[in-house]
Amino acid sequence: MPILFDADKKIFHIMCKDCSYMFQILKDGSLGHLYFGKRLKDNNLSYLIRYEFRGNENYKDADTQSFSLDLLPFEFSTYGTGDYRHPSFQAMLKDGSTITSFKYIGHNIFKGKKALKGLPSLYMESEDEGQTLYVELYDEVSKLKAVLQYSCFENYNVITRSIKIINEGEKDVNIKRIMSFSIDFHDNNYKMLRLSGAWARERYVHISDIYPGIQSIESTRNASSPQQNPFIALLEKNADEFNGNVYGFNLVYSGSFLAEVEVNHFNMTRVSMGINPFDFNYLLKSGEDFQSPEAVMVFSKDGLNGMSSEFHNVYRNNLLRGKYKKERRPILINNWEATYFDFNEEKILNIAREAKDLGIELFVLDDGWFGCRNDDTTSLGDWYENKEKLPLGLEHLAKKINEMGMKFGLWFEPEMISPKSELYKKHKEWCIQVADREKTQGRHQFVLDLSREDVCNYIIDTLSSIFDRVPISYVKWDMNRHMTEIGSLMLPPERQRETGHRYILGLYYILETLTNKYKDILFESCSAGGGRFDPGMLYYMPQTWTSDDTDAIERIKIQYGTSIVYPLITMGCHVSAVPNHQVGRITSIETRGNIALSGNFGYELDISKLTDKEKDIIKKQIEIYKDISDIIINGRLYRIKSPFDGNDASWIIVSEDKERAVFFYCQSLSEPNPIFKRIKLLGLDENFLYEVVETKEKYKGEQLMYAGLNLPNFNRDFESILLRFKKVD
Ligand code: DGJ
């Protein structure tokens, strides 16, 4: 039984594969957090709650002075009655007060897991995959009910949490803060990992000590953002890549978020994550409810790698959906870095023809095919062919490409509108805006107001009419600016601060509708590269363009950082031209291929400019990808050497049966008179005999893992190897 309630001790015990999560109904009816860690057989942890006196605190029980909210670990904390840490929840009531005090009133445990209304969430396909617990709490004064929702996955060390607030009173309330979860750890013996960055350098790994007070990451951009991914991990101080306890937290949400770690004056650490309360307010009228996004919590006793593996498994099986969930995605060529806006049908067909000859399976036409779009200043919203470039239309182009034996894909940026567009002339009111304020532009564009149903339906109808007319197999869904002047002309003043969240709900509604309606189309999300790489988007679109930075050496860091949470199969990875367009670096086509082969493989360059030798290498890379793609999709990633720690980087991806593996190693700068380098591989079976496909050398698993593999002496910068290991009898 994965979820137990011990009525005597009033303890809830949630059990996953190797982890336990426990909390208790305390004597005042609130919920005290007991434990999150390695799986325990018994739930006898009541002794951990210490009802003790400390000076200068406030006490609920004036006589005994032992029940102070400031000294106890909570599961759902509120503001105003003595807990001074930032709470899970805060609302402003009709009388202007901001205090709530929730007490347990009941619970319900059932098999399986329910979807969240209007929001993406992990799913269970069968009731045997796990159980769900709803705990109901009630605040007598406000008449608000809080339903804490927990689901545990029996095959993983994964628990999801979210909260629903129901206004059962007659008066309206304003929700000021609602964290999807919060946990109070007993001590502060942790380091914090975050994935921070910017455009073109997304998800760099940062690990730092935690200290008394609040440390947080957030987005206020109404996109999950490249600046901070909605993910943090706490690593016990002795934990590293393969050892020690690690706790990972990821929010299934694509808008503004906050992840907060607060160490109080007794070294207790509160971790919470949810919609960013900054600039947020939600009016909850009598009878209405509000559902928070879901957070995914992972425990690993095997270091960061163990944590990543849990996220990868549960996301591959219980987050990604649709036809391409487990299928090899077509090897694509995208024309963006080959032509930018400067193309016509002939140029496109030439690139496609050359690509087809090399074995590429899908041609993607990027930005510039619509309206009068010849640069980035116009036409977003005018989703009809640019007749100057494509006089015969999209159907004709797609048909020609299909006739070559290739699939056809198309770029859109549906959430945006250019001030220079036909759509803007008709519908200025459709933008995110605040009346009487000048609208700030980003990349010469404004954001459409997806909190409005009419705008959402316009996007659905416009895209549907293209999908119905043109044989499209793939869509790149781009989004290239963050929001400013956040407001909606449709909403009353008291609901203006809901605009950002309502926008995200509108976006999810559009994506749910289109991905259900066009099940054969492979959708890839993109936000100026990997600016919205989050589980919310992955629920609808099973892959994301990892970064606009296509330089192989930069990509090692970006893909390594992304792999901390997200499976390799979710990352779009392309070989592009040199000198690289973002950093000017020249790397060999082999190295560019070797790094791109660890994800969803593709190309983004003008093939007609390549030498015959380079074209032969591309043919070989395509052959390799077809051979290893099942390992990329289903295999286990072991990160061996971090690019953030030195001059080289390495990883190995091992098939589920351990009979095959793909090993990658890259050295950035060559070294004079180099030392003899050797590296120990991971995850293989020590008893298997493996052959290296590339060299035909044979090694036992134990040799590779315990004695190591000799690395070549690289005498050029940016050299790399990709080796395939196959079990031989
Ligand atoms: C940003 C994307 O990340 C690029 O790949 C490309 O599609 C451009 N937008 C097009 O404007």
Q: What is the DSSP string of 255-279?
A: S-EEEEEEE-TTS-EEEEEEE--TT
Atom 10 of ligand 1, nearest CA residue: 367
Task: Let me know if 37 is exposed, middle or buried by CB neighbors in 10 A (0-12, 13-18, 19+).
Answer: middle
Cβ–Cβ < 8 Å for 510, 460: yes
Atom 11 of ligand 1, nearest CA residue: 367
Angle at alpha carbon of residue 713, lines to 711 and 718, rounded to 5°: 95
> Checking phi first, is residue 237 left (phi over 0); if not, alpha (psi -120 to 50) or beta?
alpha
718 touches ligand 1 (CB under 6 Å): no
Q: What is the pLDDT of residue 1?
A: 67
Residues in the chain, overall count: 729
Q: How far apart are CA 638 and CA 650, in angstroms?
A: 9
- In one-letter notation, the amino acid at residue 539 is Y
CA of 367 to the centre of ligand 1 (A): 7
| Helix, strand, coil fractions of the chain, as percent rounded to 5 | 20, 35, 45
Cβ–Cβ < 8 Å for 692, 709: no
Give the side-chain half-sphere CA count within 13 A for 588: 15
Contacts 24+ apart (CB under 8 A), 208-214: 210/234, 210/261, 210/263, 210/269, 211/263, 212/188, 212/263, 212/264, 212/265, 212/267, 213/262, 213/263, 214/86, 214/260, 214/261, 214/262
Question: In this predicted model, what pLDDT tens digit does every residue of 425-477 receive, in sequence order?
Answer: 999 999 999 999 999 999 999 999 999 999 999 999 999 999 999 999 999 99
For residue 420, what is the DSSP state?
A: B
548 touches ligand 1 (CB under 6 Å): yes
How many beta carbons lie within 10 A of that of residue 595, not counting itself?
Answer: 26
Residue that has been written with the tokens 């305390």 in this structure? 26
Residue that has been written with the tokens 């400031």 in this structure? 70
| Residue 548 is among the residues annotated as catalytic for this protein | yes
Residue that has been written with the tokens 């395939």 in this structure? 724
DSSP state string for 360-386: --EEEE-S-SBTT-SSTTB-TT--SB-
Angle at alpha carbon of residue 529, lines to 523 and 534, rounded to 5°: 65
How many beta carbons lie within 10 A of that of residue 126, not counting itself?
Answer: 8
139 touches ligand 1 (CB under 6 Å): no
545 touches ligand 1 (CB under 6 Å): yes
From the candidates 70, 139, 449, 478, which is the catalytic residue? 478
Q: How far apart are CA 107 and CA 490, in angstroms?
A: 39
Q: How far apart are CA 213 and CA 322, in angstroms?
A: 44
Atom 1 of ligand 1, nearest CA residue: 528
529 touches ligand 1 (CB under 6 Å): yes
Q: CA distances (Å), 393 to each of 321, 374, 380, in order? A: 32, 16, 18
DSSP state string for 326-340: SSPPPPEEE-HHHHT
Q: How far apart are CA 239 and CA 189, in angstroms?
A: 11
From the candidates 548, 549, 551, 648, which is the catalytic residue? 548
Q: What is the pLDDT of residue 729?
A: 85
CA of 476 to the centre of ligand 1 (A): 9
Q: What is the pLDDT of residue 62?
A: 87
Q: Which ligand 1 atom is the nearest neighbour of the CA of 366?
A: 7
The whole-number mean pLDDT for each consecutive block of 10 residues of the chain, a chain of 729 residues, reads 94 97 97 98 95 92 90 96 97 98 98 98 97 98 98 97 98 98 98 98 98 98 98 98 98 98 98 98 98 98 98 98 95 98 97 97 98 98 96 98 98 98 98 97 98 98 98 98 98 98 98 98 98 98 98 98 98 98 98 98 95 98 98 98 97 98 98 96 98 98 98 96 97
> Checking phi first, is residue 144 left (phi over 0); if not, alpha (psi -120 to 50) or beta?
beta
Tell me which H or E stretch contains 346.
Answer: helix 345-358
**Dihedral angle sign, alpha carbons of residues 577, 582, 584, 586:** negative
Question: In this predicted model, what pLDDT tens digit does every residue of 654-677 receive, in sequence order?
Answer: 999 999 999 999 999 999 999 999
478 touches ligand 1 (CB under 6 Å): yes
Cβ–Cβ < 8 Å for 241, 257: no
- Nearest partner of 484 among 498, 496, 495, 500, judged by Cα: 500
Q: Which ligand 1 atom is the nearest neighbour of the CA of 476?
A: 7
**Which of 370, 480, 544, 551 to probe ligand 1 with, by most ligand atoms within 8 A of CB?**
480
Q: How far apart are CA 592 and CA 664, in angstroms?
A: 12
Q: Which ligand 1 atom is the nearest neighbour of the CA of 604?
A: 5
Atom 2 of ligand 1, nearest CA residue: 528
Q: How far apart are CA 411 and CA 334, in angstroms?
A: 10
Q: What does DSSP say about strands 407-412 and 474-477: parallel, antiparallel, or unpaired?
A: parallel
| Residue 376 is among the residues annotated as catalytic for this protein | no
539 touches ligand 1 (CB under 6 Å): no
Cβ–Cβ < 8 Å for 303, 203: no
pTM of the model: 0.98
Residue that has been written with the tokens 């709900």 in this structure? 505
CA of 180 to the centre of ligand 1 (A): 32
**Dihedral angle sign, alpha carbons of residues 169, 175, 179, 182:** negative
Q: How far apart are CA 237 and CA 188, in angstroms?
A: 9
343 touches ligand 1 (CB under 6 Å): no
My answer on whether omega of the bond before 579 falls inside 30° of 0, hence cis, is yes
Q: CA distances (Å), 478 to each of 338, 348, 365, 393, 418, in order? A: 18, 20, 13, 22, 14
Q: CA distances (Å), 262 to each of 85, 214, 636, in order? A: 7, 4, 33
Residue that has been written with the tokens 């002047």 in this structure? 485
